[in-house]
Amino acid sequence: MRKKIVAGNWKMNRKLQEGIELARTVNEKVSGTDVTVILCTPFIHLSEVKKILNRDGLFLGAQNCASEESGAYTGEVSAEMIKSAGASYVIVGHSERRSYYNEDDLTLNKKVKLALKNDLIPIFCCGEVLEERKAKKHLSVVKNQIEKGLFDLPDRDFNRIVIAYEPVWAIGTGVVATSGQAQEMHKIIRDLLVSRYGKEIADDTSILYGGSCKPSNARELFANPDVDGGLIGGASLNADDFMGIVHAF
Ligand code: PGA
C-alpha cells in the first residue's frame, strides 16, 4: 500500500529561531494521523529541527542536495551530510532549482542516485510551464523529466522514490490545478511507471500534487485515486494551514 504523504517545502523562508518555533508547533499538532508528514527545511535548520521532531510519522527532509559526493564544491551540501543531520527525505528537481539554477536531467539523475546511496528518499519533482500546457506538450514534458531523471534506476531503488507533480503555473500563484487536471496527470504518471516497473511498484509509488495547495482545496485534490498527497510551499509556513492540509485526507 502506498503512503499518503504531506510534505512542507519551506523554501528560503524562516530564520533559524522561527523555523524551530514552526517545527515545534507542527510537532505538537501531529498526532493520530496515518499520513506521513515531512518538513523540508533549509539546510541550516535540519539538525536543530531534528531535535524537536518526536512524533510517529513525522519526518525531516532537505530541499536539495549536491550532485557530487564530496570534495571541492564550495557552498554545496552533500546527501551524506544531509543524512548525518537526521533527514530522511530530500526534494530533487524542484522547478525553482530547474529554472533558476539550471539543473538539468543529468544533474538531477546524479542527485537522485546520491540520495538513494545515502539512504535518503528522493521526492522527485516534475511539471510543465504554462506555455507547454497551452501547446499541449505537458504530458510529454513530464514524461521526459521522469524518464531522464529516474528510469535508469533498478526496481529495488525505484521503489523508494516519491514523485511530486507540480505544474509550474500553479506554484506560488494561487492558481491551483483543477482536481481533474491533477488526476489526469497523476494517472498518466502511474501508467508510465507501470510500463517501466510493472504494476506492483507503480501501485506502491506515492505521487504528490504541488502548487497552491491549501486547506480549502486539498480535500478535493486528495480525493482523486492517483493523488497520494501534497508538496506544500506557502501553506506549510503556517502550522494551522499545514495541519489543515494533513487533516484533509
Ligand atoms: P506553493 O509551492 O504551495 O507555494 O504553490 C509548492 C512548491 O513549490 O512545492
Distance (Å, whole) CA 111 – CA 91: 10
**Residues lining ligand 1, judged by CB closer than 6 Å?**
9, 166, 171-172, 210-213, 231-235
Contact between residue 249 and residue 57 where contact means Cβ atoms under 8 Å apart: no
Distance (Å, whole) CA 86 – CA 188: 34
- Of ligand 1's atoms, which has the minimum distance to the CA of residue 210? 6
- In degrees, rounded to 5, the angle at the alpha carbon of residue 45 between the alpha carbons of residues 12 and 103 is 45
Atom 1, ligand 1: residue with shortest CA distance: 233
In this predicted structure, the answer to whether residue 249 has a pLDDT above a threshold of 90 is no
Q: Which fold has domain 5-246?
A: TIM Barrel (3.20.20)
Task: Report the pLDDT value the prediction gives residue 230, as an integer from 0 to 100.
Answer: 98
Q: Which of 63, 231, 236, 241 should be mutated for ligand 1, with most atoms under 8 A from CB?
A: 231
Q: Which of 212, 221, 237, 246 should be mutated for ligand 1, with most atoms under 8 A from CB?
A: 212
Q: What's this model's pTM, rounded to 2 decimal places? A: 0.98
The packing angle between helices 179-197 and 138-150, to 10°, is 40
- Of ligand 1's atoms, which has the minimum distance to the CA of residue 232? 3
Instruction: Give how far Cα 85 sits from Cα of 27, 37, 62, Å.
Output: 18, 18, 10
Give 143 Cα–ligand 1 centroid separation in angstroms.
21
Give 71 Cα–ligand 1 centroid separation in angstroms.
32
199-213: pLDDT as tens digits: 999 999 999 999 999
Contact between residue 58 and residue 94 where contact means Cβ atoms under 8 Å apart: no
Distance (Å, whole) CA 18 – CA 23: 9
Domain ranges of the chain: 5-246
Instruction: Tell me the pLDDT of the chain averaged across its residues.
Output: 97
- Of ligand 1's atoms, which has the minimum distance to the CA of residue 213? 3
Q: Which segments of 61-178 does DSSP mark as H helices, in order?
A: 79-84, 95-100, 105-117, 130-134, 138-150, 155-158
Contact between residue 166 and residue 126 where contact means Cβ atoms under 8 Å apart: yes
How many Å is the Cα radius of gyration of the chain? 17
Task: Report the pLDDT value the prediction gives residue 31, as an integer from 0 to 100.
Answer: 86
What contacts 237, CB < 8 A, 6 or more positions away? 8, 10, 13, 14, 22
| Active site amino acids | 94, 166
17-72: pLDDT as tens digits: 999 999 999 999 998 889 999 999 999 999 999 999 999 999 999 999 999 999 99
Distance (Å, whole) CA 168 – CA 152: 25
Atom 3, ligand 1: residue with shortest CA distance: 233
* Other beta carbons within 10 Å of 104: 12
